[in-house]
Structure 1
């Protein structure tokens, strides 16, 4: 019975990890088709991103209403994005959330899927830098060395894209901005989560609702209104089906990410994400029939190696800190 229970647990974990890989990779390819594919052919990347937020917000709203109507069948955290206190606390984070998904999609619009991971690979580096600047937390030389490896892989990848004549400077800049936004979003999320009782889904609900509003002026500023109004497929059901699929993928990736962390650990999630990025890059070169140089592949392996080493170093540091806390606790004298 014990062995059957362990087998069922491993099967469940494997299924969740496979679901994360499939949905994450599918989301990238679907978004690439929506943002720069010949089938859609709509030059309005922020509008596409806005609609994905609309779909996610609608799903969260529906789940919230169903939970109130059928509490025995559905479960969604209670909360309203119209609460003035919620608006005050969460909107600053939603600004970062909006910037993060906007820059990520803009990066994907201009770069190849195979280069997408490299273009956004500096997230770990900015995490270390911003954590020090904003929170005053220092880091070890081992961690700094891992970040140096990642930066080296990034520059080698950019250089090889330039040599091949396929480098998009604009896409790379958006990738760097996306990495910075993601790092800042991660830091501020830790500050806001206690306000929503650590409810990730409730925070996702708020972020998507507020982003629907925040994207509107950005769409206007980016001069996408004319492209949308004159788009010949605006009333085509197939276009909206593709857009909705993109929105469902965007919502699903949030769900499977949270689920993978829940059934494994944040460390395992990072390892899984790194391995997934490798598979995604290989698949993209095959799917789009791209031929890459040895140095280009080396840049990917350098970034992957640096990221994996960073994860390992952080794991060892967390274990060491945990052990030291236990020793300090046990050393405290107690009165009898």
Structure 2
């Protein structure tokens, strides 16, 4: 009976996580399609809503603790906040420029770059099998972005812009750096992921606001509101939905860390990637080419292989705690960084650096 209850709990958490993640991607894409000139304002609204929801949660439960705002702590978390907001900007610009079914491919270098950055920071060489996993994923990314012979009409529809691919790569770079900075930043927030999430959401909103003015997005919003052709309901309702579901995705991620294993999470992520691709074809009429399908499969195989390798390489003594704890990097960082939708699992194998 207990095993059945645990299985139902795991199934419920995984389903909740998958549903929230899929809603995030497709509502984000729908809003960006309807308001392509307001990506930073769209992101700012999500950040501010996350701060509001964190305050509301603190009123409901004592488990959510809002940190005291002080300059000393703000200065210490500035690096991770800066990397966070830059990564979010590149991520949303990438999603704006590619089809929903291609989004996973555009950010396909997250795992190899995370392995590389972690190795540079720890000054340790990954094992051969970890390097092999990174090579497989990198090959999958190259397959996805490689030119493909298609009819002229399909070629025009399916070819992502070089700029959007560059945004995806840059997003992956900052996700990888962010994963490392989270570990060094948690001690400044009493090892509380919720407090770090609050600092990052609030700090990212403050850092982002001036650029919205520089980009003239407020004037663009004014022009759109005055236009009779623009449906502002998509933008504002989309901002509300993605803000709420970004918060729920954070909750789902934390629950996933608690009740599932890394391998379970990776299989659920693989299933979600396939569903995301099929929904992209159905909802947005994305073109699923042979290269794209092959790329997604190769990236998933490489990522799951990496998950298996790390579970084998981790010692049994560490398995229940930090060594096998999926950091899901941005899931722990909070609702806004969750929007990046990366599914890399990183293990901390050094007990002195591991934080549960």
Q: Same fold (TM over 0.5)?
A: yes
TM-score with structure 1 setting the length: 0.85
Q: Tell me which residue corresponds to 1:219.
A: 212
Moved more, 291-300 or 172-181: 291-300
Counterpart Cα distance in 1 of 2:66 and 2:201: 16
Q: How does 1:290-329 map to 2 (within 5 A)?
A: 290-319=286-315
1:152 corresponds to 2:139: yes
Moved more, 53-62 or 240-249: 240-249
Moved more, 130-139 or 261-270: 261-270
Q: 1:85 aligns with which of 72, 94, 103?
A: 72
1:256 corresponds to 2:233: no
Counterpart Cα distance in 1 of 2:66 and 2:318: 34
| Cα pair distance change 1:221/1:316, threshold 3 Å | farther
Judge conservation of contact 2:101–2:288 (CA < 8 Å) in 1.
no
Judge conservation of contact 2:100–2:286 (CA < 8 Å) in 1.
no
**Secondary structure, in 3 states, of the residue corresponding to 1:76?**
coil
| Cα pair distance change 1:319/1:276, threshold 3 Å | farther
Q: Tell me which residue corresponds to 1:328.
A: none
Q: Tell me which residue corresponds to 2:334.
A: none
Cα RMSD (Å) of the superposition?
2.3
| Cα pair distance change 1:242/1:116, threshold 3 Å | same
Q: Tell me which residue corresponds to 1:98.
A: 85
**Structure 1, unaligned stretches of length 5 or more?**
68-72, 324-336
Counterpart Cα distance in 2 of 1:190 and 1:161: 41
Judge conservation of contact 2:102–2:292 (CA < 8 Å) in 1.
no
Alpha-carbon shift at residue 162 of structure 1 (Å):
8.2
Judge conservation of contact 1:42–1:231 (CA < 8 Å) in 2.
no
Counterpart Cα distance in 2 of 1:25 and 1:289: 16
Deviations 1:258-287 (A, max 9, x none): 111111134432332233212211221232
Q: Tell me which residue corresponds to 1:114.
A: 101
Q: Tell me which residue corresponds to 2:113.
A: 126
Alpha-carbon shift at residue 183 of structure 1 (Å):
0.7
Which has the larger share of helix?
A: 1
**Structure 2, unaligned stretches of length 5 or more?**
320-356
Judge conservation of contact 2:13–2:252 (CA < 8 Å) in 1.
yes
| Cα pair distance change 1:321/1:16, threshold 3 Å | closer
Q: 1:60 aligns with which of 38, 54, 58?
A: 54
Judge conservation of contact 1:142–1:313 (CA < 8 Å) in 2.
yes
Q: 1:228 aligns with which of 212, 221, 224?
A: 221
Deviations 1:209-240 (A, max 9, x none): 11110111222343423312322179956642
Alpha-carbon shift at residue 322 of structure 1 (Å):
5.2
Counterpart Cα distance in 2 of 1:142 and 1:105: 32
1:188 corresponds to 2:181: yes
Counterpart Cα distance in 2 of 1:256 and 1:161: 38
**Secondary structure, in 3 states, of the residue corresponding to 1:232?**
helix
Q: 1:23 aligns with which of 20, 24, 28?
A: 20
Counterpart Cα distance in 2 of 1:94 and 1:322: 30
Q: Tell me which residue corresponds to 1:47.
A: 41
Counterpart Cα distance in 1 of 2:234 and 2:275: 29
**Secondary structure, in 3 states, of the residue corresponding to 2:314?**
helix
Judge conservation of contact 2:49–2:243 (CA < 8 Å) in 1.
yes
TM-score with structure 2 setting the length: 0.81
Deviations 1:138-165 (A, max 9, x none): 2011111111111111111001468634
Moved more, 290-299 or 124-133: 290-299
Count, aligned residues: 310
Deviations 1:148-192 (A, max 9, x none): 111111111001468634222111111111111111111000111
